């Protein structure tokens, strides 16, 4: 069967994967900021207890990400892993709605955080197992587009439910999204997934029954992987604190309209991410991974500098649109680079977990550092510090991170005056001639 015919034959599974990305968008983050709003407004918790409750999920996710990636590599039941993780999230949010006490919410947040670490590597593995490396750029662009569309839809629904139905209704909305995630996951046909390909393995011998699995030590010694992980850590070190800092700048001296302004920042960026993810997946095929990746890095220091130029909510929301470019590109290219670097190793999902851990560490350091800078020097100093780190990340990525996918070969063409690029190639030949 040709690859095109085989891809067409998996149509139902690919449509189910689209739907999975829509519903999973709301599930993998749990309640997010809506939990803080509920605990403050409905349960009258103080800021200290809310901070503890909100931080537990993040710590649990970071701790679970690398083991979750290794687990997804080892098991065939990748669909079941997604379904069980979604079920755990549903049980966690319902438990918090029924027992809004500090011990219960800490336990539920820990379960939700650990479970959410399963989603990203499992869905990427299923995607690779369905379409292969050649079609993965388009597939990841499609995954990210549906995921961001799901985030926008979920944010709008949660806002409406919380304002017009009941604040606790957001908990049940996430539970319903979890049930839909389970249903769409099971619609993906198990037989359509190549499980060796899904972990980035290649046959080890002629019978195709066994596969070569690289040692973890060999992966850690690969300088390309180390450079990419460090670049990603620097990117999120510069990026993670920007939106929370914008939120603080919006609230400075205001008592009304803050929630709406913050929601506008989040939704605006998510809307931009949809076309950016789709465009990135196509540009990669003609430009390669690295140029597209560097665009995402280049936007970040510009965004940080622009934040220092105004305080009007409309201006800040407009600048936040740039976040959609960086995040939209990273969501596609990050997975592709890991797929390239781990091709044939059988460790694709493990390294995705390592990448996610690096993202979490970078984000944590970002918020920690920025808090001290803002307290000492103010908001603009915080944005300038983040912009400086972003510029460092751009330079490091340009210098140290290699092109991993290559640029598609172009057919040789005859020398025609009107051919694009011919003059440039001719000039190079003249300059290099003895």
Answer whether residue 185 shows pLDDT above 70: yes
pLDDT tens sequence across 213-248: 877 888 878 899 999 999 999 999 999 888 778 777
Place of tokens 């049940």: 172
Residue 296 exposure: Cα atoms within 13 Å on the Cβ side: 30
- Please report the pLDDT score of residue 8 as a whole number: 55
| Alpha-carbon 353 to chain mean position | 12
CA 201 to chain CA centroid, Å, is 23
Say if CB 81 and CB 75 are below 8 A apart: yes
pLDDT digits (tens, 9 = 90+) for 413-425: 434 444 444 445 4
Q: What is the pLDDT of residue 257?
A: 52
Residue 211 CB neighbours (<10 A): 18
Tens of pLDDT, residues 58-102? 888 888 999 999 999 888 899 999 999 999 999 999 998 899 888
49 — phi, psi (to 5°)?
A: -70, -35
Residue 207: per-residue pLDDT: 45
pLDDT digits (tens, 9 = 90+) for 273-327: 889 988 888 888 889 899 999 999 999 999 999 999 987 878 888 888 888 898 8
- pLDDT computed for residue 263 by the predictor: 65
Measuring CA to CA, which residue among 407, 1, 416, 23 is closest to residue 185?
A: 23
Strand partners, 120: none
Per-residue pLDDT, 244: 76
- Whether 60 contacts 109, CB under 8 Å: yes
- Residue 274 has what pLDDT? 86
318: exposed, middle or buried (Cβ count in 10 Å: 0-12, 13-18, 19+)? middle
pLDDT digits (tens, 9 = 90+) for 96-149: 889 988 899 999 989 998 999 999 899 999 999 999 888 888 899 899 889 888
pLDDT digits (tens, 9 = 90+) for 9-38: 578 899 999 999 999 887 877 777 677 767
Rounded CA separation 100/174 (Å): 16
Please tell me the predicted confidence (pLDDT) of residue 299.
Answer: 94
Please report, for the chain, the start and end positions of each structural domain, with discontinuous segments joined by +. 12-134+149-197, 214-403
Q: Note whether 185 and 86 are within 8 A (CB).
A: yes
Q: Quick count: other Cβ atoms within 10 Å of Cβ 196?
A: 18
Please write down the long-range contacts of 167-173, taking CB distance under 8 Å and 24 or more positions apart: 167/37, 167/38, 167/41, 167/42, 168/38, 168/42, 168/97, 170/31, 170/34, 170/38, 171/31, 171/38, 171/93, 171/94, 171/96, 171/97, 172/93, 172/94, 172/97, 173/26
pLDDT value at residue 421: 46
Where helices occur in 75-168 by DSSP H, the ranges are 78-98, 102-116, 119-164
Q: Alpha carbon of 268 to those of 62, 191, 253, 320: distances in Å?
A: 27, 39, 23, 7
Which tokens go with 44?
A: 């009258």
Residue 202: partners with Cβ closer than 8 Å, 6 or more residues away = 196, 211, 212, 343, 344
Judge whether 154 and 99 are in contact, CB under 8 Å: no
The b-or-e profile of 412-430 (16+ CB within 10 A means b, else e) is: eeeeeeeeeeeeeeeeeee
Name residues whose C-beta falls within 8 Å of residue 108's C-beta, 6 or more positions apart in sequence. 92, 93, 95, 96
Mean pLDDT on 375-383: 86
Asked if domains 12-134+149-197 and 214-403 share a fold, the reply is: yes
pLDDT at 1 over 70: no
Mention every residue, 6+ apart, whose C-beta is less than 8 A from residue 38.
31, 162, 167, 168, 170, 171
Using one digit for the tens of pLDDT, what is the confidence trace for 328-357? 898 889 889 998 998 888 889 999 899 888
Is the per-residue pLDDT at 432 higher than 70?
A: no
CATH pick for 12-134+149-197 out of 1.20.1250.20, 3.40.50.150, 1.10.3720.10, 1.10.260.40? 1.20.1250.20
Interatomic CA distance for residues 309 and 324, integer angstroms: 20
Superfamily of domain 214-403 in the CATH hierarchy: MFS general substrate transporter like domains (1.20.1250.20)
pLDDT at 392 over 70: yes
pLDDT at residue number 251: 63
pLDDT at 286: 85
Tracing tokens 């998996």 back to the chain, one arrives at 10
Residue 33's pLDDT is 66
Report the alpha-carbon distance of residue 197 to residue 133 in Å, rounded.
9
Query: Are residues 110 and 79 in contact, defined by beta-carbon separation less than 8 angstroms?
Result: no
3-state SS assignment for residue 203? strand
pLDDT score recorded for residue 183: 94
Q: Please spell the DSSP secondary structure of 6-34, one letter per residue.
A: HHHHTHHHHHHHHHHHHHHHHHTTTTTHH
The pLDDT score that the predictor gives to residue 393 is 94
pLDDT band per the 50, 70, 90 thresholds, residue 266: confident
- pLDDT value of residue 407: 54
Q: What is residue 415's predicted lDDT score, i.e. its pLDDT?
A: 40
DSSP-derived secondary structure letter, 211: B
**Contact 174/317 with Cβ under 8 angstroms?**
no
Q: What pLDDT, on the 0 to 100 scale, is given for residue 205?
A: 52
């Amino acid at each position: 069967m040709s690859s095109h015919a085989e891809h067409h034959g998996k149509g139902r599974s690919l449509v189910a994967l689209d739907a999975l990305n829509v519903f999973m968008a709301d599930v993998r983050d749990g309640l997010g900021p809506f939990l803080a709003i509920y605990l403050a407004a409905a349960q009258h918790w103080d800021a200290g207890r809310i901070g503890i409750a909100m931080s537990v999920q993040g710590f649990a996710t970071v701790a679970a990400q690398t083991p979750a990636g290794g687990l997804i590599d080892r098991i065939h039941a990748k669909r079941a892993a997604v379904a069980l993780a979604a079920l755990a999230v549903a049980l966690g949010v319902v438990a918090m709605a029924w027992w809004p006490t500090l011990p219960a919410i800490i336990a539920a947040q820990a379960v939700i955080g650990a479970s959410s670490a399963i989603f990203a590597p499992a869905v990427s593995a299923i995607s690779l197992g369905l379409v292969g490396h050649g079609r993965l750029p388009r597939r990841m662009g499609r995954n990210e587009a549906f995921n961001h569309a799901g985030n926008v839809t979920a944010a709008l629904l949660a806002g409406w439910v919380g304002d017009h139905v009941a604040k606790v209704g957001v908990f049940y909305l996430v539970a319903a999204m979890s049930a839909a995630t389970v249903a769409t996951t099971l619609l993906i046909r198990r037989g359509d997934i190549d499980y060796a390909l899904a972990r980035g393995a290649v046959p080890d011998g002629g019978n195709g029954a066994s596969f070569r699995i690289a040692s973890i030590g060999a992966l850690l010694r690969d300088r390309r992987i180390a450079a990419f992980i460090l670049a990603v850590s620097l990117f999120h070190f510069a990026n993670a604190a920007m939106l929370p800092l914008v939120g603080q700048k919006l609230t400075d001296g205001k008592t009304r309209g803050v929630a709406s302004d913050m929601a506008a920042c989040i939704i605006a960026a998510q809307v931009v991410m949809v076309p950016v993810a789709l465009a990135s997946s196509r540009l990669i095929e003609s430009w390669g991974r690295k140029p597209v990746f560097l665009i995402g890095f280049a936007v970040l220091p510009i965004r940080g500098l622009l934040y220092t130029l105004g305080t009007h909510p409309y201006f800040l929301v407009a600048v936040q649109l740039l976040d959609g470019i960086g995040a939209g590109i990273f969501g596609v290219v990050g997975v592709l680079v890991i797929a390239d670097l781990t091709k044939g190793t059988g460790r694709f999902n493990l390294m995705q977990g390592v990448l996610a851990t690096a993202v979490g560490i970078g984000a944590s350091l970002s918020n920690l550092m920025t808090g001290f800078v803002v307290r000492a020097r103010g908001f603009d100093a915080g944005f300038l510090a983040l912009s400086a780190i972003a510029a460092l990340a751009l330079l490091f990525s340009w210098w140290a991170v290699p092109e991993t996918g290559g640029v598609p070969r172009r057919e040789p063409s005859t020398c025609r005056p009107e051919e694009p690029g011919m003059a440039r190639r001719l000039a190079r030949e003249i300059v290099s001639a003895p």
